Amino acid sequence: MELKDILKTVPEVQGLVGHEDAGKLMNTKEYDGGNQVKSNLQSAFAKLMTANKDMVSEAVSKLTSRLNIESKIRTLTDKEQLILSLEKQYQQDVGVLAALFFNYVKLSPGEALYIGANEPHAYLSGECIECMATSDNVVRAGLTPKYIDVQTLCSMLTYKQAFPEILRGVPVQPHVRRYTPPFDEFEVDCCLVPPGELVVISPVPGPSIFLVMTGEGELQADSQSAGEKAKEGDVFFVPAYTEVKLSTCGPESMQLYRAGVNSRFFS
């Protein structure tokens, strides 16, 4: 697995994880039982995240200095470049090193991913739409000035070994593409309304929230009410079983996102 290469090539991380835990991960076989792999990952990650702050600071400094030197003679990997970028924003933060334990995902326009409960993640850069299911808490451990709770985080994570599935959406009608995660709480539609066209969103059994990302136009929820002006940043609540008509104003397209209850919930 990729983490074995990290432990081989990044002594700064291996030093904080410790010889014993690093050895267990290095000796892990692909066919080993899932519980044993999870236990080894949890132990190693907890060692890193709870390491002495001075040791973390020294490790981050050594790693970034080494990468800056090596960048002059070779092309750094994406993750190595990420380390240098994170260190500029969060100096001496253990999250700079923890990033090496995570998948590094770059999404192109129109792509999405879903993250299940108790999966660690950090949004790094760019512009995206995030839809979140009902949650009783958010637990942080690094890359933030907010309160952190390392012990709780390390105990609750799933420690799954897999690259997240990239969703590219499925057309559900002209100008509307749907992103459906594998749980009931929500789905997200991307609506791109071309200039001069009318896009009619069929009624759905649950309530929806529309967010206008770009462009200007008009949103009409049911035939009995007048249309509302819609511009970048506007948010509209639409009740269940309500038809929505979308149209643009001006020469540019209008892009909206709709978040609503996952259709499978009503199946």
pLDDT computed for residue 31 by the predictor:
54
pLDDT computed for residue 144 by the predictor:
80
pLDDT per residue as tens digits for the range 147-204:
888 888 899 998 888 888 999 999 999 999 999 998 889 999 999 999 999 999 999 9
- Specify whether 140 is catalytic: yes
Cα 145 to Cα 13: distance, rounded to the nearest angstrom: 23
How does strand 228-231 pair with strand 166-167?
A: unpaired
- On the question of pLDDT at 97 being above 60, the answer is yes
- On the question of pLDDT at 267 being above 90, the answer is no
pLDDT computed for residue 190 by the predictor:
97
- On the question of pLDDT at 224 being above 70, the answer is no
pLDDT computed for residue 250 by the predictor:
84
Render the chain in DSSP notation, one character per residue.
-HHHHHHHH-HHHHHHH-HHHHHHHHT--TTS-HHHHHHHHHHHHHHHHTS-HHHHHHHHHHHHHHHHHHTTTSPPPHHHHHHHHHHHHSTT-HHHHHGGGS----PPTT-EE---TT------SS---------S-----SSSSS---HHHHHHH-----SPPPEE--EEEETTEEEE--SSSS-EEEEEEE-TT-EEEEPP-SS-EEEEEEESEEEEEESTTS--EEEETT-EEEE-TT--EEEEE-SSS-EEEEEEE--GGGG-
- On the question of pLDDT at 51 being above 90, the answer is yes
Average pLDDT over residues 247-254: 92
pLDDT computed for residue 142 by the predictor:
81
pLDDT interval class at 1 (50, 70, 90): low
pLDDT computed for residue 257 by the predictor:
97
Kindly name the residue from 66, 74, 140, 178 that is annotated as catalytic: 140
User: Which of 19-23, 82-86, 115-119 tops mean pLDDT?
Assistant: 82-86
pLDDT computed for residue 33 by the predictor:
57
